[in-house]
A and B are shown apart, each in its own frame.
Chain A
Amino acid sequence: MKTASWAEVEEFCKRDGWLQIRSTDHEFYRKVLSDGTVLETHISFSSNKTMSPGRFMSILRTQLKVSQEDFWGTLRTGKPVARPSKPLTEPQRHEAWVIQVLTVQLGLGPSEIEQLSPEQAKQLIYDHWSQLQQS
């Protein structure tokens, strides 16, 4: 999967007609859609390094509300996205408490967690808890 750099996310915002707003000491981009929906995003890093597919999908889905296809289309053509965008891809996400237990109680690292589906991750925790009860 082709992923973006922070510089490309910022360029997308500019081409898609987002307003750059400086509020107190925080700079962010905002776009108000025709139905009144407010979208906001903060360009966390000014980098040409690409981000992981999971992070890219999370930004597309949670903040930009745009499909990968429309994201790259706007960067290519310079034309704003016609929303609603095409169906957005759902990244594999876990409830935060699951990740907390996996890292703190089971000592798993990111590379091990990445291999687990949400169901597998929870089952691992349930097995751990069962062992604790038995011991």
Chain B
Amino acid sequence: MAPATLPVLDFSEAKARLSDVMTAVTQQHRPQLVRRHRGKESMVLVDARDLAGFLTAYRFEPTVVVDAGEFTVELEHLGILGFGTTLDEAISDLVSELHAYTQRYFAQPGFYTYTDRKDHWPWLLRFALTEENRQADLILADMKDSAERRYRERQAEQDTAAGVPAAAR
């Protein structure tokens, strides 16, 4: 049984008050625990945008193989590849592959969540919670974020090497 630290409703009550429950979850950002069968089954209702925000830690960090004019973009831990003759083309293909994989993953959770692919769930949910026309931007934003982080780290390394005091940076 899930702990009752969150607001709890029995299934029948939640069903009867669904409009109020949804308002509280989406507008007041209050997670709502719903139980049935005396707590043997429980689910949590969370605002979709809140959830997408909480999943930002599950970043997409692709690697790229460039060979003979071909770009191959890899999300190795998800087993996904994208192909193209430019980086943009390969990322676009990667997004298309990721889209297809996410669809079949959540269409067959009874299969995937009992395999070594169980841990793909948060990455794919983050991707699924992103509007379809923004999914490529999600990957590109994670890449940009990696570059900016490395830029800041590099600056800090150089400042340290030059003896610049931390307070002056």
Contact call B66/A54, Cβ cutoff below 8 A: yes
Interface flag for B49 (CB, 8 Å): no
Q: Can you list 23 A-B contacts with CB-CB less than 8 angstroms, sorted by A residue number? A: A23-B104, A26-B104, A37-B115, A37-B116, A54-B65, A57-B65, A91-B65, A91-B67, A91-B72, A92-B67, A94-B64, A96-B73, A96-B91, A96-B143, A96-B146, A97-B143, A97-B144, A99-B64, A99-B66, A99-B87, A110-B66, A111-B69, A130-B158
Look across to chain B and name the residue whose beta carbon is closest to the beta carbon of A99: B64
B residues with CB within 8 A of A = 61-74, 76, 79-81, 83, 85-87, 91, 93, 97, 100-101, 103-104, 107, 112, 114-117, 140, 143-144, 146-147, 150-151, 154-155, 158
Complex Cα distance, B116 from A133, in Å, reads: 46
Closest Cβ neighbor of B100 among chain A residues? A26
- How far apart are the CA atoms of A44 and B90 in the complex, in Å? 12
Partner of A38, one of B91, B115, B146: B115
Interface of chain A residues 22 through 43 with chain B (CB within 8 A): 23-24, 26, 28, 32, 36-40, 42
CA distance A97 to B65 in the complex (A): 12
Chain A nearest Cβ from B105, distance in angstroms: 10
Interface centre among B66, B143, B155, by most A CB within 10 Å? B66
Interface secondary structure of A, over-half rule: helix
Cβ of A52 and Cβ of B70 under 8 Å apart? yes
On whether A63 and B79 interact (CB within 8 A), knowing A23-B100, A42-B100, A54-B65, the answer reads yes
Specify which of A32, A62, A133 lies most central, judged by the most chain B CB atoms within 10 Å of its CB.
Answer: A62
Q: Does A85 contact B (CB under 8 A)?
A: no
Kindly list chain B residues whose C-beta atoms are within 8 Å of the C-beta of A114: 66-68
